[in-house]
Amino acid sequence: MKNQRQNQILELLASRGKIEVIELSQIFEVSQVTIRKDLNELEEKGLIRREHGFAELRSRDDVAGRLAYHFETKRKIAEKAAEMIQDGDTIMIESGSCCALLAEQIAETRKDVTIITNSAFIADYIRKNTNVQIILLGGIYQKESQVMTGPMVRQCAENYFVRYFFIGTDGYTERTGFTNSDPMRAQAVRDMAGQTDEVVILTESEKFQQRGSIPIHIKDQPKRIITDSAVQKDVIQSLQSKGCEVITV
């Protein structure tokens, strides 16, 4: 109940930007004390900013702020992806909001999983959970995205080989495939992809209407995409014609 309420609070903030505590109390028919506790927990995760009497969403320029947008959709995508993971598995996860929620879902529902990531944000996001071991790959630290990039990422990743590597995307085009908006992050994805059996894309359907400027160009293209049910049928058919499995939630 609490988690569902907090998810709905994030959805409201995503559409309105700012909302008063008293109004949230009326909407959810709970006390203002309960709402303040919810907001405190969301603020501790870095998703919102508390001010006297109201809460507001963080900037979309901030990685934690981006996480809050379409939160419920991203959470469902993460839950579906987590079904692929068993206790004791070792996996790789790249930076991205769906990926952060996947890491959280795994940490809450699996045991003895090792997560290898180049995302300092993800490492921090789930740091309090003792069910997972986190291996943070070294590299050049990008402050805004809180992600490690550069040749050291490849050198560190080469020490591991895993079955699944979960990544996000900034966009997609029929011609170039999945894209990123940052060349350093795109290269980090390629370097990590070389150390896995299967790359799995986690993305909201709206990303198929956008395009980043840097094609990811993974050697063996992703064979599995997990997205939401709003994805267009022609996109699904195009991906399936290329041998990709498309899972919708």
Report pTM. 0.89
- Sort strands 162-167 and 196-202 into parallel, antiparallel or unpaired: parallel
Domain shared by 44 and 129, yes or no = no
- Distance, CA of 142 to CA of 241 (rounded, Å): 36
Instruction: Give the Cα separation of 187 and 178 in Å (integer).
Output: 13
Task: List pLDDT tens digits, range 210-244.
Answer: 988 899 988 666 789 999 999 999 999 999 998 89
201 in Cβ contact with 169 (< 8 Å): yes
Residues 53 and 74 in one domain: no
Same domain, 47 and 147: no
Amino acid letter, 45:
K
Q: Could you give the number of structural domains in the chain?
A: 2
Domain that holds residue 40: 2-62
Q: Sorting pLDDT into bands at 50, 70 and 90, what band is 47?
A: confident
Is 204 strand, coil or helix? coil
Is residue 27 domain-shared with residue 89, that is, in the same domain?
no
Residues 50 and 76 in one domain: no
Contacting residues for 44 by C-beta, under 8 A, at least 6 apart: none
Which domain CATH number covers 103? Answer: 3.40.50.1360
Between CA 209 and CA 220, with CA 215 as vertex, the angle to 5 degrees is 110
143 and 222 within one domain: yes
Give 77-88 pLDDT, tens digit per residue: 999 999 999 999
Residues 35 and 132 in one domain: no
Rounded to an integer, what distance in angstroms lies between the CA atom of residue 10 and that of residue 12?
5
31: domain CATH number is: 1.10.10.10
> Around 56, how many Cα atoms within 13 Å sit in the side-chain half-sphere?
8
> Of the residues 62, 78, 110, which one is the last residue of a structural domain?
62
What is the C-alpha to C-alpha distance for residues 167 and 92, in angstroms, rounded to an integer? 9
**Average pLDDT, integer, range 154-159:** 97
SS3 assignment, position 219: coil
Task: Tell me: do 6 and 116 sit in the same domain.
Answer: no
Give residue 142's Cα distance to chain centre: 17
Residues 127 and 228 in one domain: yes
Banded model confidence at residue 14, pLDDT cuts 50, 70, 90: confident
The kind and range of the H/E element at 71 are helix 71-82
Residues 221 and 103 in one domain: yes
Does residue 36 carry a pLDDT above 90?
yes
